[in-house]
Amino acid sequence: MRSEISQLARLLRRHRPALALTGAGVSTESGIPDFRSPETGLYAQYDPLEYLSLRALESRPQVFWEFFARHYGALNGVQPNRGHLALARLETAGYLSAVVTQNIDGLHQKAGTRRVLEVHGHLRTVRCTACPQHYPLAVALEQVQAGCLPTCPDCGGRLRPNVVLFGDMMPPAFTEASSLVRQSALVVVVGSSLAVSPANYLAWEARRLVIINREMTAADGEADLVIRGEAGETLTALVEELKIP
Ligand code: NAD
């Protein structure tokens, strides 16, 4: 792995600032399960399409919100891990222009990354489907806990999470991410199976592509360099290799 880290360091020196594209794998070391890791991923127990889709929210809102509250209601206290921290240091040192993330957990911001594009939304707030109001996620979770469907305190409309559900339109952050990919000489993917469209197109559009992942990904064949390893360990070694103080 040492020589692969040196290779990645060379690419970053030559093509800085690169763009990082992260997935659920960067947060597993913080204790948040991803979707597709065998045994520990959410897919091992559920079909996320059945629970985290627009259709599920509309046709079975009680089931949707109970699932959502169980899996994403208690992430407030979760801390960034050394992978997130290393990415923040790479940005500060000028090796990264931004982190584009498919994650909704807010851990890149907590780690100190300044420019984060959340292409699948976030867990900070929910929004009303009938009026323009947004509220902290806790407003919805309290109602779920009380056995009610989350409704807008202002107009009584249904609330929904500010995450991108299967079947939703992509947010403006995705368009911004696509244009950043086109401007970047190098994209480094960390902890994503690259199986979720259209976020995975960002990897395919990259001029040069590096993939850091525990297992094979859908774009390994397209990559200039694949590092099969743990996100935290690999990124920490990269920061050391680049001698970032
Ligand atoms: P995924 O589950 O499809 O793939 C994660 C990949 O990361 C897997 O290939 C796995 O082998 C790898 N991985 C896991 N732990 C790793 C580690 N420590 N080091 C290196 N590699 C590791 O996730 P995805 O590609 O991001 O797509 C799934 C969707 O699920 C995304 O849209 C994302 O929004 C959502 N999701 C987000 C979170 C979160 O916010 N933390 C958690 C679960 C799912």
CATH code for the domain in which residue 63 is found: 3.30.1600.10
Residue 84, pLDDT > 90, answer: yes
Residue 1, pLDDT > 80, answer: no
Q: Does residue 192's CB lie within 6 angstroms of at least one atom of ligand 1? A: yes
Do 67 and 55 fall within a single domain? Answer: yes
Do 187 and 245 fall within a single domain? Answer: yes
Q: Does residue 91's CB lie within 6 angstroms of at least one atom of ligand 1? A: no
Do 13 and 88 fall within a single domain? Answer: yes
Mutate to test the pocket of ligand 1, among 4, 30, 34, 102 (most ligand atoms within 8 A of CB): 34
**What pLDDT band is residue 8 in, cutting at 50, 70 and 90?**
very high
Q: Which whole-number Å values give the CA distances from 116 to 28, 62, 126, 180, in the listed order?
A: 19, 32, 19, 12
Of 135, 163, 191, at which residue does a domain stop?
Answer: 163
Percent of the chain with pLDDT over 70: 100
Burial class, 45, CB count within 10 angstroms (exposed 0-12 / middle 13-18 / buried 19+): exposed
pTM of the complete model: 0.96
Residues noted as catalytic: 120
Do 192 and 97 fall within a single domain? Answer: yes
Q: Where are the alpha helices (DSSP H) in the chain?
A: 2-15, 48-51, 54-59, 61-72, 82-92, 107-111, 137-145, 172-183, 201-204, 231-241
Query: So what's the pLDDT on residue 46?
Result: 82
Of 163, 189, 215, at which residue does a domain stop?
Answer: 163
Distance CA 46, CA 57 (A): 16
Query: So what's the pLDDT on residue 127?
Result: 98
Q: Does residue 83's CB lie within 6 angstroms of at least one atom of ligand 1? A: no
Tally of structural domains, the chain: 2
Of 163, 185, 216, at which residue does a domain stop?
Answer: 163
Ligand 1 centroid to 39 CA: how many Å? 13
pLDDT in tens, 135-176: 999 999 999 999 999 999 999 999 999 999 999 999 999 999
Domain residue limits at 159 = 33-77+124-163
- Which atom number of ligand 1 is nearest to the Cα of residue 196? 27
pLDDT in tens, 14-43: 999 999 999 999 999 999 999 888 878 888
Do 203 and 243 fall within a single domain? Answer: yes
Q: Do the Cβ atoms of 147 and 169 come closer than 8 Å? A: no
Distance CA 199, CA 197 (A): 5
Query: So what's the pLDDT on residue 243?
Result: 97
CATH code assigned at 179:
3.40.50.1220
Residue 235, pLDDT > 90, answer: yes
Q: Does residue 121's CB lie within 6 angstroms of at least one atom of ligand 1? A: no
- In the 8-state DSSP scheme, what is residue 99? E
